[in-house]
């Protein structure tokens, strides 16, 4: 009997810690964020930088135990899908992401893909943050998309005015990739240039996606004798080839685009022949970077291996999503709450060093509602392997 008591006590002693080990552990709440964009092909850097920025933001918060929303700590999980610049694949990606219950999606990057996913996002009662410029995405009755950057028709007139007043440009030609979004940017650019009194020497010339030899199309453009050539909607892989071809053909004028570019690709492919090329810059120039931005850059480099200039713009989308969710946690599962907050939301921009610049939703002047992330407007000039900041501004409501 005594031996049985000893055995029973021994078994209880063994079972106790096992019971503790077997007790259910409360899993940390997860905030899933989707990224749907072009991550391969000529425009790959646009979608990849979206992905890298979202993942870096997740790294920063998760390293601190997650993001605090309504008194709960959420681990941020990024679900990124490559749409290969194909509208059908972009729709499939959007359906997959929303079927997983994801309410907030960053991307797509191109007008055709962003317009294709619009009904999917609306039906799923989700929201997306495209880097595409079609106004029908952001103007009523549409209300599920928020523009993540400065649009071509917002920065274009500023660039052309700079070329006119500072570079003495009197005539200008426009060349676009033969895709709807690039051609739309071309048309909008032409109208803006006309309003500034510039002479348009070419307004409908295009090249096919996948083109590697730009000599024929640029020969035609240069024969019209423009002082400047605008590369409407040019992809980062095409820009250096176009710059190089223009200079090889003897063009001495200005070259510019209203899209974000990659300095490393420009330097590798075009080198000094890209000097003077104007483009939209990342919204975090060294002159305005806060300590938080500098820390983010180091975290980005740790993940990616290098800093990409346009990441200075794309850092903003997820940071702003998180800030709105923190202000009103009900928006985690209800995008209508998020939309209501957008109208009045304002916070100190954590990435600008003065501590006074506000980060809010803008775009009312262009879209009739606040449906744009209010990132700083930056114009860069490529010079000696890197970008130099020409000027920094803001988009007003």
The CB density around residue 101, as the number of other CB atoms within 10 Å, is: 10
For 145, which DSSP code? B
Using an 8 Å Cβ cutoff, are 271 and 383 in contact? Answer: no
Enter the tokens of residue 36. Answer: 């749907």
pLDDT of residue 130: 98
Where would I find the H helices in 256-290? 263-269
Q: How many CA atoms lie within 13 A of 365 on its CB side?
A: 10
Alpha carbon distance 130, 138 (integer Å): 10
pLDDT of residue 1: 46
Alpha carbon distance 247, 240 (integer Å): 11
Residue-wise burial string across 113-133, b where 16 or more C-beta atoms lie within 10 A, e elsewhere = bbbbbbebbbebebbbbbbbb
Beta bridge partners of residue 229, listed in sequence order:
173, 255
pLDDT of residue 260: 87
CATH number belonging to the domain at 152-282, selected among 3.40.50.300, 3.40.50.2300, 3.40.50.10330, 3.40.50.720 = 3.40.50.2300
Using an 8 Å Cβ cutoff, are 96 and 117 in contact? Answer: no
| Of 210, 218, 133, nearest in space to 177 by CA | 210
Mean pLDDT per 10-residue segment, the chain (397 residues): 45 46 64 97 93 98 97 97 97 98 97 97 98 95 95 93 96 95 94 97 96 97 98 94 98 95 92 96 84 96 94 95 98 97 95 88 94 92 90 77
Does this model's pTM top 0.95? My answer is no
Residues of the chain with CATH 3.40.50.2300: 29-149+287-376, 152-282
117 phi and psi angles, rounded to 5 deg: -85, -10
CATH number belonging to the domain at 29-149+287-376, selected among 3.30.830.10, 2.60.15.10, 3.40.50.2300, 3.40.718.10 = 3.40.50.2300
The CB density around residue 17, as the number of other CB atoms within 10 Å, is: 9
pLDDT of residue 26: 58
Residue-wise burial string across 152-166, b where 16 or more C-beta atoms lie within 10 A, e elsewhere = bbbbbbbbbbbbbee
């Amino acid at each position: 009997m005594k031996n049985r008591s000893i055995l029973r006590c021994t078994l209880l002693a063994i079972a106790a810690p096992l019971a503790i080990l077997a007790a259910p552990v409360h899993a940390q709440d997860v905030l899933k964020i989707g990224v749907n964009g072009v991550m391969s092909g000529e425009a790959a850097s646009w979608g990849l930088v979206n992905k890298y920025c979202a993942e870096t933001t997740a790294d920063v918060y998760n390293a601190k135990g997650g993001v605090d929303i309504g008194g709960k700590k959420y681990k941020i999980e990024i679900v990124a899908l490559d749409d290969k610049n194909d509208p059908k694949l972009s729709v499939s990606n959007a359906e997959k992401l929303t079927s997983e219950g994801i309410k907030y999606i960053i991307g797509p990057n191109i007008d055709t893909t962003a317009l294709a996913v619009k009904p999917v996002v609306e039906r799923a009662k989700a929201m997306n943050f495209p880097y595409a410029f079609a106004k029908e995405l952001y103007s009523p009755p549409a209300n599920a998309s928020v523009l993540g950057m400065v649009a071509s028709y917002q920065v274009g007139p500023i660039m052309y005015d700079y070329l006119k007043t500072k570079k003495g440009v009197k005539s200008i030609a426009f060349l676009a990739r033969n895709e709807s979004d690039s051609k739309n940017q071309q048309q909008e650019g032409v109208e803006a240039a006309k309003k500034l009194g510039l002479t348009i020497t070419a307004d409908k010339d295009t090249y096919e996606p996948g083109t590697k030899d730009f000599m024929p199309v640029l020969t035609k453009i240069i024969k019209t004798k423009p002082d400047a050539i605008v590369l409407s909607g040019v992809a980062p892989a095409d820009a250096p080839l176009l710059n190089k071809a223009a200079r090889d053909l003897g063009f001495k004028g200005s070259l510019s685009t209203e899209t974000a570019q990659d300095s490393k690709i420009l330097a590798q492919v075009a080198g000094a022949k890209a000097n003077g090329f104007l483009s939209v810059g990342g919204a975090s120039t060294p002159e305005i970077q806060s300590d938080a931005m500098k820390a983010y850059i180091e975290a980005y480099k740790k993940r990616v291996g290098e800093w990409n200039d346009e990441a200075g713009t794309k850092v903003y989308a997820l940071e702003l999503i998180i800030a709105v969710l923190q202000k009103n946690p009900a928006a985690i599962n209800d995008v209508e709450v998020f939309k209501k907050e957008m109208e009045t939301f304002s916070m100190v921009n954590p990435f600008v060093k003065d501590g006074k610049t506000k980060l809010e939703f803008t775009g009312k002047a262009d879209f009739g509602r606040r449906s744009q992330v209010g990132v700083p407007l930056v114009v860069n000039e490529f010079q000696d392997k890197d970008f130099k900041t020409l000027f920094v501004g803001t988009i007003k409501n």
